[in-house]
Amino acid sequence: MALTLTCPVCGKRNGYEFRYGGEEKGPRPDEADLTPQAWCEYVHMNKCVAGIQKEWWCHKDGCGVWFTTHRNTTCNLEVDTPEAQS
């Protein structure tokens, strides 16, 4: 489907050049005192927002950079800010 993403290095490119890297969940939890719950939360759990979410992408078939962006999951459109209307 139509998906265009903006790579911070290469600019707007076809979505099929990228690999999805998951919902943005903050920094990887510290290993000291890490509980199975906290690890599971970081690795597996998702909010599955039907709307705008912050997420990771890798420009796999391009420059290889990892970056975050905001996308509306109900229409596959990248948005500038999380406040943008869906």
Partner 1 sequence: MLRKSKRLWGDQAALKSSYDAVIIGGGLHGLAAAYFLARDHGIKNVAVIEKRFLGFGGSGRNTAIVRANQRTQQNVPLYKEALELWPILTKELDYNLMFFNCGNLNLMHSEAAMNTARMNVATAQFHGVESHLIDAKQCKELVPALNISKDITYPIFGAMYHPPGGILRHDAIVWGLAKGAAKHGVHLHQQTEVTGIGVENGKIVSVETDKGRIKTPRVLNAAGGYSAALSYQMLGIKLPISVLTIQAMVTQPLKPILDHVVSSGTYHAYANQTLKGEIATGAHMDAWPNYTTQTTAYYIKHQAEALSEMLPCLRGVKFMRHWGGLADMTPDMAPIMDGNNLIEGYYMDCGWGYFGFKSCAATGKYMAQFISSGNCPEMLKPFNLSRFEQNRLMGETAALVNYTPDN
Using CB under 5 A, list all residues that contact Zn ion.
7, 9-10, 59, 62-63
SS3 23: strand
**75 scored as a contact of partner 1 (CB under 8 A):** yes
Cα separation, 47 vs 56, in Å, equals 14
**42 scored as a contact of partner 1 (CB under 8 A):** no
Please choose which of Zn ion, partner 1, none residue 4 contacts, taking the beta carbon within 5 to 8 angstroms, the exact cut-off set by kind: none
Cα separation, 5 vs 46, in Å, equals 21
Tokens encoding 71: 């996308």
C-beta of 1 vs 32, nearer to partner 1? 1
